[in-house]
Homo-oligomer: A and B are copies of this chain.
Amino acid sequence: MQSDTPANSIPSFSFQVQAQAGRARAGVFHTPHGDIHTPVFAPVGTQATVKAITPAQLEEMGASIVLSNTYHLYLRPGDELVAEMGGLHKFMNWPHPILTDSGGYQVFSLSDSRKLDETGVTFKSHIDGSLHQISPEKAIAIQENLGADIIMAFDECAPPYEHDYNLRALRRTHAWAERCLQVKSRPDQALFGIVQGGVFPELREESARFIASLGFSGHAIGGLSVGETKAEMHHMLEVVDFVLPEDKPRYLMGVGSPEDLVNGVLRGIDIFDCVLPTRLARHNTAMTRTGRLNLMNASFSREAGPIDETCNCYTCRHFARGYLRHLIVAKEMLAATLLSLHNLHTLLQLAREMRQAIFEGRFDRFAAEFLAARNDT
Protein backbone atom coordinates (compact mmCIF):
# COMPACT_ATOMS: atom_id res chain seq x y z
CA MET A 1 0.00 0.00 0.00
CA GLN A 2 1.58 3.22 -1.14
CA SER A 3 0.92 6.32 0.89
CA ASP A 4 -2.14 8.28 -0.19
CA THR A 5 -0.42 11.59 0.51
CA PRO A 6 1.90 11.83 -2.51
CA ALA A 7 2.97 15.40 -1.76
CA ASN A 8 5.07 14.28 1.17
CA SER A 9 5.64 10.59 0.55
CA ILE A 10 8.90 9.39 -0.93
CA PRO A 11 8.75 6.97 -3.86
CA SER A 12 11.82 4.95 -2.83
CA PHE A 13 10.09 3.98 0.42
CA SER A 14 6.97 1.89 0.72
CA PHE A 15 5.33 -0.13 3.44
CA GLN A 16 3.11 -3.14 3.03
CA VAL A 17 1.14 -4.86 5.76
CA GLN A 18 1.50 -8.53 4.86
CA ALA A 19 -0.58 -10.13 7.62
CA GLN A 20 -2.63 -9.05 10.61
CA ALA A 21 -3.69 -10.74 13.83
CA GLY A 22 -5.98 -8.54 15.86
CA ARG A 23 -4.15 -5.21 16.00
CA ALA A 24 -0.76 -6.87 15.43
CA ARG A 25 0.74 -6.55 11.98
CA ALA A 26 3.52 -8.20 10.00
CA GLY A 27 4.86 -5.99 7.25
CA VAL A 28 7.77 -4.98 5.09
CA PHE A 29 9.26 -1.50 4.78
CA HIS A 30 11.36 -0.98 1.66
CA THR A 31 14.32 1.39 2.03
CA PRO A 32 17.25 2.27 -0.24
CA HIS A 33 19.53 0.08 1.91
CA GLY A 34 17.25 -2.94 2.06
CA ASP A 35 13.94 -4.23 3.35
CA ILE A 36 12.92 -4.13 6.98
CA HIS A 37 10.61 -6.97 7.95
CA THR A 38 8.35 -5.99 10.82
CA PRO A 39 7.84 -6.36 13.72
CA VAL A 40 11.50 -5.50 14.15
CA PHE A 41 13.88 -4.51 16.91
CA ALA A 42 16.61 -1.96 16.06
CA PRO A 43 19.85 -2.31 18.07
CA VAL A 44 21.11 1.10 19.19
CA GLY A 45 24.49 2.37 18.02
CA THR A 46 24.50 5.70 19.86
CA GLN A 47 27.93 6.86 18.72
CA ALA A 48 27.94 5.10 15.33
CA THR A 49 28.70 1.74 16.97
CA VAL A 50 26.53 -0.78 18.74
CA LYS A 51 28.63 -0.96 21.89
CA ALA A 52 31.11 -3.89 22.02
CA ILE A 53 29.76 -5.46 18.80
CA THR A 54 31.10 -5.49 15.23
CA PRO A 55 28.83 -5.01 12.21
CA ALA A 56 29.73 -8.58 11.16
CA GLN A 57 28.36 -9.85 14.48
CA LEU A 58 25.18 -7.79 13.98
CA GLU A 59 24.73 -9.27 10.51
CA GLU A 60 25.28 -12.77 11.86
CA MET A 61 22.46 -12.35 14.37
CA GLY A 62 20.13 -11.10 11.64
CA ALA A 63 19.82 -7.42 12.57
CA SER A 64 18.23 -5.49 9.71
CA ILE A 65 18.21 -1.92 11.03
CA VAL A 66 20.39 -0.03 13.47
CA LEU A 67 19.58 3.25 15.23
CA SER A 68 22.13 5.97 15.78
CA ASN A 69 21.84 9.21 17.73
CA THR A 70 21.78 12.59 16.02
CA TYR A 71 22.64 14.51 19.19
CA HIS A 72 25.75 12.43 19.90
CA LEU A 73 27.03 12.38 16.32
CA TYR A 74 26.39 16.10 15.84
CA LEU A 75 28.61 16.80 18.85
CA ARG A 76 31.18 14.11 18.07
CA PRO A 77 32.62 13.50 15.52
CA GLY A 78 30.30 16.06 13.86
CA ASP A 79 27.77 15.45 11.11
CA GLU A 80 29.90 17.29 8.56
CA LEU A 81 32.82 14.97 9.22
CA VAL A 82 30.52 11.96 8.83
CA ALA A 83 29.27 13.37 5.51
CA GLU A 84 32.83 13.97 4.37
CA MET A 85 33.68 10.34 5.22
CA GLY A 86 30.89 9.15 2.94
CA GLY A 87 27.91 9.19 5.32
CA LEU A 88 26.94 7.09 8.30
CA HIS A 89 26.45 3.80 6.41
CA LYS A 90 30.01 3.86 5.17
CA PHE A 91 31.48 5.45 8.31
CA MET A 92 30.19 2.72 10.65
CA ASN A 93 30.25 -0.01 7.98
CA TRP A 94 26.53 -0.76 8.17
CA PRO A 95 25.33 -0.99 4.54
CA HIS A 96 21.81 -1.87 5.72
CA PRO A 97 18.99 0.41 6.93
CA ILE A 98 19.82 3.01 9.56
CA LEU A 99 17.47 5.24 11.56
CA THR A 100 18.61 8.44 13.26
CA ASP A 101 16.56 10.04 15.98
CA SER A 102 16.02 13.79 15.94
CA GLY A 103 18.24 14.64 18.87
CA GLY A 104 15.27 16.06 20.74
CA TYR A 105 15.14 13.48 23.48
CA GLN A 106 18.90 13.64 24.16
CA VAL A 107 18.94 17.45 24.22
CA PHE A 108 16.32 17.30 26.95
CA SER A 109 17.81 14.39 28.89
CA LEU A 110 21.58 14.82 28.57
CA SER A 111 22.54 18.44 28.07
CA ASP A 112 22.69 21.33 30.52
CA SER A 113 21.32 24.86 30.45
CA ARG A 114 18.58 24.46 27.91
CA LYS A 115 16.91 27.55 26.56
CA LEU A 116 13.79 26.67 24.67
CA ASP A 117 11.70 28.82 22.35
CA GLU A 118 9.89 28.55 19.06
CA THR A 119 13.21 28.76 17.20
CA GLY A 120 14.60 25.63 18.82
CA VAL A 121 16.74 24.61 21.77
CA THR A 122 19.98 26.17 22.98
CA PHE A 123 22.06 23.84 25.13
CA LYS A 124 25.49 23.10 26.46
CA SER A 125 27.29 20.00 25.22
CA HIS A 126 27.53 17.21 27.84
CA ILE A 127 31.04 16.57 26.49
CA ASP A 128 32.78 19.93 26.69
CA GLY A 129 30.18 22.48 27.79
CA SER A 130 30.23 24.26 24.43
CA LEU A 131 27.07 26.10 23.40
CA HIS A 132 24.87 24.80 20.57
CA GLN A 133 21.48 25.39 19.05
CA ILE A 134 19.32 22.79 17.40
CA SER A 135 16.21 23.94 15.54
CA PRO A 136 13.87 21.77 13.48
CA GLU A 137 15.72 22.94 10.38
CA LYS A 138 19.09 22.18 11.96
CA ALA A 139 17.93 18.71 13.09
CA ILE A 140 17.01 17.87 9.50
CA ALA A 141 20.26 19.33 8.14
CA ILE A 142 22.28 17.22 10.58
CA GLN A 143 20.32 14.09 9.69
CA GLU A 144 20.75 14.80 5.99
CA ASN A 145 24.51 14.99 6.56
CA LEU A 146 24.43 11.70 8.47
CA GLY A 147 22.36 10.13 5.69
CA ALA A 148 20.26 7.51 7.51
CA ASP A 149 17.37 5.87 5.64
CA ILE A 150 14.82 6.89 8.26
CA ILE A 151 15.09 10.29 9.93
CA MET A 152 12.94 11.83 12.65
CA ALA A 153 11.18 15.17 13.06
CA PHE A 154 12.53 17.35 15.88
CA ASP A 155 10.29 17.11 18.93
CA GLU A 156 10.01 18.12 22.54
CA CYS A 157 9.66 15.33 25.06
CA ALA A 158 7.87 16.58 28.21
CA PRO A 159 7.66 14.92 31.64
CA PRO A 160 4.78 12.43 31.31
CA TYR A 161 2.50 13.67 34.13
CA GLU A 162 2.54 17.46 33.58
CA HIS A 163 -0.52 18.32 31.55
CA ASP A 164 0.12 21.97 30.73
CA TYR A 165 3.75 21.29 29.96
CA ASN A 166 2.66 18.49 27.65
CA LEU A 167 0.12 20.71 25.95
CA ARG A 168 2.72 23.41 25.26
CA ALA A 169 5.27 20.80 24.15
CA LEU A 170 2.67 19.28 21.86
CA ARG A 171 1.93 22.58 20.10
CA ARG A 172 5.64 23.17 19.65
CA THR A 173 6.27 19.60 18.45
CA HIS A 174 3.46 19.98 15.90
CA ALA A 175 4.78 23.29 14.57
CA TRP A 176 8.28 21.83 14.39
CA ALA A 177 6.97 18.75 12.55
CA GLU A 178 5.61 21.00 9.78
CA ARG A 179 8.91 22.88 9.54
CA CYS A 180 10.85 19.60 9.34
CA LEU A 181 8.69 18.43 6.44
CA GLN A 182 9.21 21.76 4.67
CA VAL A 183 13.00 21.70 4.77
CA LYS A 184 13.59 17.99 4.24
CA SER A 185 15.26 17.60 0.84
CA ARG A 186 16.84 14.16 0.32
CA PRO A 187 14.60 11.76 -1.62
CA ASP A 188 16.56 8.78 -0.25
CA GLN A 189 15.45 9.48 3.32
CA ALA A 190 12.05 8.76 4.88
CA LEU A 191 10.94 11.33 7.48
CA PHE A 192 8.85 10.08 10.42
CA GLY A 193 6.71 12.35 12.60
CA ILE A 194 6.54 11.90 16.36
CA VAL A 195 3.38 11.74 18.45
CA GLN A 196 3.70 13.21 21.95
CA GLY A 197 1.21 13.94 24.75
CA GLY A 198 2.48 12.34 27.95
CA VAL A 199 -0.04 10.08 29.68
CA PHE A 200 -3.03 12.17 28.54
CA PRO A 201 -5.34 10.31 26.13
CA GLU A 202 -6.87 13.45 24.66
CA LEU A 203 -3.42 14.95 23.96
CA ARG A 204 -2.16 11.69 22.46
CA GLU A 205 -5.22 11.48 20.24
CA GLU A 206 -4.92 15.10 19.14
CA SER A 207 -1.23 14.63 18.45
CA ALA A 208 -1.78 11.42 16.47
CA ARG A 209 -4.49 13.08 14.36
CA PHE A 210 -2.35 16.14 13.64
CA ILE A 211 0.89 14.25 12.91
CA ALA A 212 -0.99 11.73 10.75
CA SER A 213 -2.48 14.58 8.70
CA LEU A 214 0.93 15.87 7.61
CA GLY A 215 1.82 12.97 5.34
CA PHE A 216 4.96 11.60 6.96
CA SER A 217 6.41 8.32 5.66
CA GLY A 218 5.94 6.77 9.07
CA HIS A 219 4.89 7.62 12.61
CA ALA A 220 6.66 7.35 15.90
CA ILE A 221 5.30 7.40 19.42
CA GLY A 222 7.66 9.35 21.65
CA GLY A 223 7.73 10.21 25.32
CA LEU A 224 6.89 6.73 26.58
CA SER A 225 8.89 4.44 28.84
CA VAL A 226 10.05 7.62 30.61
CA GLY A 227 8.48 7.07 34.03
CA GLU A 228 4.83 6.28 33.40
CA THR A 229 3.28 2.93 34.36
CA LYS A 230 3.05 0.01 31.97
CA ALA A 231 -0.76 0.31 32.02
CA GLU A 232 -0.50 3.98 31.02
CA MET A 233 1.94 3.14 28.22
CA HIS A 234 -0.40 0.46 26.90
CA HIS A 235 -3.37 2.84 27.08
CA MET A 236 -1.48 5.52 25.12
CA LEU A 237 -0.57 2.96 22.46
CA GLU A 238 -4.20 1.92 22.15
CA VAL A 239 -5.30 5.53 21.76
CA VAL A 240 -2.91 6.29 18.91
CA ASP A 241 -3.26 2.82 17.33
CA PHE A 242 -6.80 3.64 16.21
CA VAL A 243 -5.84 7.06 14.86
CA LEU A 244 -2.60 6.48 12.95
CA PRO A 245 -3.04 5.33 9.34
CA GLU A 246 -2.57 1.60 8.96
CA ASP A 247 -0.56 1.86 5.77
CA LYS A 248 2.44 3.55 7.43
CA PRO A 249 4.94 1.97 9.79
CA ARG A 250 4.66 2.75 13.51
CA TYR A 251 7.72 3.08 15.66
CA LEU A 252 7.67 3.02 19.47
CA MET A 253 10.78 4.98 20.45
CA GLY A 254 13.19 3.82 23.14
CA VAL A 255 11.17 0.79 24.17
CA GLY A 256 12.72 -2.59 24.33
CA SER A 257 12.19 -5.12 27.09
CA PRO A 258 10.85 -8.45 25.78
CA GLU A 259 7.46 -7.92 27.40
CA ASP A 260 7.31 -4.35 26.05
CA LEU A 261 7.91 -5.66 22.53
CA VAL A 262 5.08 -8.17 22.83
CA ASN A 263 2.75 -5.60 24.38
CA GLY A 264 3.68 -3.10 21.67
CA VAL A 265 3.01 -5.52 18.81
CA LEU A 266 -0.33 -6.41 20.42
CA ARG A 267 -1.13 -2.69 20.04
CA GLY A 268 -0.08 -2.22 16.43
CA ILE A 269 3.61 -1.30 16.76
CA ASP A 270 6.04 -2.33 13.99
CA ILE A 271 9.44 -0.93 15.02
CA PHE A 272 11.22 -0.76 18.39
CA ASP A 273 14.63 0.39 19.57
CA CYS A 274 16.24 0.44 22.98
CA VAL A 275 19.64 0.57 24.67
CA LEU A 276 18.39 -1.93 27.25
CA PRO A 277 19.94 -5.14 25.80
CA THR A 278 23.42 -3.67 25.41
CA ARG A 279 23.26 -1.63 28.62
CA LEU A 280 22.14 -4.66 30.67
CA ALA A 281 24.95 -6.65 29.03
CA ARG A 282 27.52 -4.13 30.27
CA HIS A 283 26.00 -4.56 33.72
CA ASN A 284 26.45 -8.34 33.66
CA THR A 285 22.81 -9.09 33.03
CA ALA A 286 21.39 -11.53 30.51
CA MET A 287 17.85 -11.17 29.14
CA THR A 288 16.07 -14.49 28.78
CA ARG A 289 12.65 -15.53 27.55
CA THR A 290 11.36 -15.49 31.09
CA GLY A 291 13.31 -12.79 32.91
CA ARG A 292 16.83 -11.65 33.71
CA LEU A 293 19.96 -13.30 35.10
CA ASN A 294 22.73 -11.38 36.83
CA LEU A 295 25.70 -13.51 35.91
CA MET A 296 27.93 -11.86 38.51
CA ASN A 297 26.12 -14.04 41.04
CA ALA A 298 28.47 -16.63 42.55
CA SER A 299 25.85 -19.34 42.11
CA PHE A 300 26.66 -19.37 38.38
CA SER A 301 30.38 -20.01 38.79
CA ARG A 302 30.25 -23.79 38.22
CA GLU A 303 27.28 -23.92 35.83
CA ALA A 304 28.23 -25.73 32.64
CA GLY A 305 25.03 -24.89 30.74
CA PRO A 306 24.46 -21.80 28.57
CA ILE A 307 22.47 -18.71 29.57
CA ASP A 308 19.42 -20.18 27.83
CA GLU A 309 19.19 -23.78 26.59
CA THR A 310 16.68 -22.75 23.91
CA CYS A 311 18.76 -19.86 22.56
CA ASN A 312 20.71 -20.24 19.33
CA CYS A 313 22.97 -17.18 19.68
CA TYR A 314 26.77 -17.40 19.37
CA THR A 315 27.15 -17.03 23.14
CA CYS A 316 24.68 -19.76 24.07
CA ARG A 317 26.04 -22.13 21.42
CA HIS A 318 29.60 -21.86 22.74
CA PHE A 319 29.92 -20.65 26.32
CA ALA A 320 28.86 -21.84 29.78
CA ARG A 321 27.36 -19.59 32.43
CA GLY A 322 30.43 -20.40 34.56
CA TYR A 323 32.73 -19.01 31.87
CA LEU A 324 30.67 -15.82 31.48
CA ARG A 325 30.75 -15.34 35.24
CA HIS A 326 34.53 -15.77 35.16
CA LEU A 327 34.85 -13.08 32.46
CA ILE A 328 32.71 -10.71 34.52
CA VAL A 329 34.66 -11.27 37.74
CA ALA A 330 37.95 -10.93 35.84
CA LYS A 331 36.65 -7.66 34.31
CA GLU A 332 37.24 -8.94 30.77
CA MET A 333 35.73 -6.93 27.88
CA LEU A 334 34.59 -10.14 26.24
CA ALA A 335 31.86 -10.38 28.90
CA ALA A 336 30.14 -7.28 27.51
CA THR A 337 30.51 -8.56 23.96
CA LEU A 338 29.13 -12.03 24.65
CA LEU A 339 26.23 -10.75 26.78
CA SER A 340 25.40 -8.06 24.18
CA LEU A 341 25.36 -10.72 21.46
CA HIS A 342 22.96 -12.79 23.54
CA ASN A 343 20.66 -9.95 24.61
CA LEU A 344 20.38 -8.46 21.13
CA HIS A 345 19.77 -11.91 19.65
CA THR A 346 17.01 -12.47 22.21
CA LEU A 347 15.08 -9.38 21.06
CA LEU A 348 15.75 -9.91 17.34
CA GLN A 349 14.62 -13.53 17.65
CA LEU A 350 11.52 -12.53 19.62
CA ALA A 351 10.57 -10.08 16.85
CA ARG A 352 11.08 -12.82 14.24
CA GLU A 353 8.92 -15.24 16.22
CA MET A 354 6.17 -12.65 16.62
CA ARG A 355 6.24 -12.03 12.87
CA GLN A 356 5.94 -15.75 12.19
CA ALA A 357 3.11 -16.11 14.71
CA ILE A 358 1.22 -13.26 13.04
CA PHE A 359 1.60 -14.92 9.64
CA GLU A 360 0.39 -18.19 11.11
CA GLY A 361 -2.63 -16.62 12.83
CA ARG A 362 -1.53 -17.65 16.33
CA PHE A 363 -0.15 -14.40 17.67
CA ASP A 364 -2.72 -13.91 20.43
CA ARG A 365 -1.83 -17.28 21.94
CA PHE A 366 1.88 -16.65 21.45
CA ALA A 367 1.64 -13.30 23.25
CA ALA A 368 -0.49 -14.66 26.08
CA GLU A 369 1.85 -17.57 26.71
CA PHE A 370 4.95 -15.39 26.44
CA LEU A 371 3.65 -12.82 28.90
CA ALA A 372 2.38 -15.49 31.31
CA ALA A 373 5.84 -17.08 31.44
CA ARG A 374 7.65 -13.85 32.35
CA ASN A 375 8.93 -13.58 35.90
CA ASP A 376 8.88 -9.79 35.74
CA THR A 377 5.37 -9.03 34.47
Which of chain A's residues 176-217 have a Cβ closer than 8 Å to chain B? Answer: none
The answer to whether B336 touches A85 (Cβ under 8 A) is: no
Which one of B51, B76, B86, B332 lies within 8 Å of A49 (CB-CB)? B332
The answer to whether A301 touches B91 (Cβ under 8 A) is: no
Q: With both chains docked as a complex, state the minimum distance between the C-beta of A102 and any C-beta of chain B, in angstroms.
A: 20
Which of chain A's residues 31-58 have a Cβ closer than 8 Å to chain B? Answer: 47-49, 51-57
The answer to whether B301 touches A81 (Cβ under 8 A) is: yes
In the complex, what residues of B have CB within 8 A of residue A61's CB? none
In the complex, what residues of B have CB within 8 A of residue A323's CB? 48, 85, 91-93
Mark the stretch among A19-27, A312-320, A346-354 that contacts chain B: A312-320
Q: Is A330 an interface residue when CB atoms closer than 8 A count as contact? A: yes
Q: With both chains docked as a complex, state the minimum distance between the C-beta of A237 and any C-beta of chain B, in angstroms.
A: 33
The chain B residue sitting closest to A93, CB to CB, is B318
Q: Given A77-B301, A85-B302, A322-B81, are A53 and B330 also a contact pair (CB < 8 Å)?
A: no
Q: Given A85-B320, A304-B85, A334-B53, are A48 and B91 also a contact pair (CB < 8 Å)?
A: no
Identify which of A53, A301, A304, A337 gathers the most chain B CB atoms within 10 Å of its CB. A337
The chain B residue sitting closest to A318, CB to CB, is B93
Identify which of A86, A330, A336 gathers the most chain B CB atoms within 10 Å of its CB. A330
How often does this chain occur in the complex, in copies?
2
Q: With both chains docked as a complex, state the minimum distance between the C-beta of A354 and any C-beta of chain B, in angstroms.
A: 28
The answer to whether A320 touches B91 (Cβ under 8 A) is: yes
Q: Is A175 an interface residue when CB atoms closer than 8 A count as contact? A: no
The answer to whether A51 touches B81 (Cβ under 8 A) is: no
In the complex, what residues of B have CB within 8 A of residue A322's CB? 77, 81, 85, 91
Which one of B302, B304, B334 lies within 8 Å of A54 (CB-CB)? B334
In the complex, what residues of B have CB within 8 A of residue A77's CB? 301, 322, 325-326, 329-330
Which of chain A's residues 320-377 have a Cβ closer than 8 Å to chain B? Answer: 320, 322-323, 325-327, 329-330, 332-334, 336-338
Q: With both chains docked as a complex, state the minimum distance between the C-beta of A225 and any C-beta of chain B, in angstroms.
A: 25
Q: With both chains docked as a complex, state the minimum distance between the C-beta of A337 and any C-beta of chain B, in angstroms.
A: 7
The answer to whether A54 touches B338 (Cβ under 8 A) is: yes
Which of chain A's residues 281-324 have a Cβ closer than 8 Å to chain B? Answer: 301-302, 304, 314, 318-320, 322-323
The answer to whether B336 touches A333 (Cβ under 8 A) is: yes
The answer to whether A302 touches B337 (Cβ under 8 A) is: no
Q: Is A162 an interface residue when CB atoms closer than 8 A count as contact? A: no
Q: Is A84 an interface residue when CB atoms closer than 8 A count as contact? A: yes
Q: With both chains docked as a complex, state the minimum distance between the C-beta of A313 and any C-beta of chain B, in angstroms.
A: 12
**Bound complex: CA A314 to CA B59 (Å):** 14
The chain B residue sitting closest to A282, CB to CB, is B333
**Bound complex: CA A56 to CA B50 (Å):** 19
A49-B327, A54-B57, A91-B323 known; 20 new pairs, CB 8 Å cut-off, are: A47-B330, A47-B332, A49-B330, A49-B332, A52-B333, A52-B334, A53-B334, A54-B314, A54-B338, A76-B326, A76-B329, A77-B322, A77-B325, A81-B301, A81-B322, A84-B302, A85-B322, A85-B323, A91-B322, A93-B323
* 4 A-B pairs closest in CB distance: A93-B318, A52-B333, A77-B326, A47-B330
> Can you list 26 contacts pairing A with B, beta carbon distance less than 8 Å?
A47-B326, A47-B327, A47-B330, A49-B330, A49-B334, A51-B332, A51-B333, A51-B334, A54-B314, A54-B337, A77-B325, A77-B326, A77-B329, A77-B330, A81-B302, A84-B302, A85-B304, A85-B320, A85-B323, A86-B304, A91-B322, A91-B326, A93-B318, A93-B319, A333-B336, A337-B337
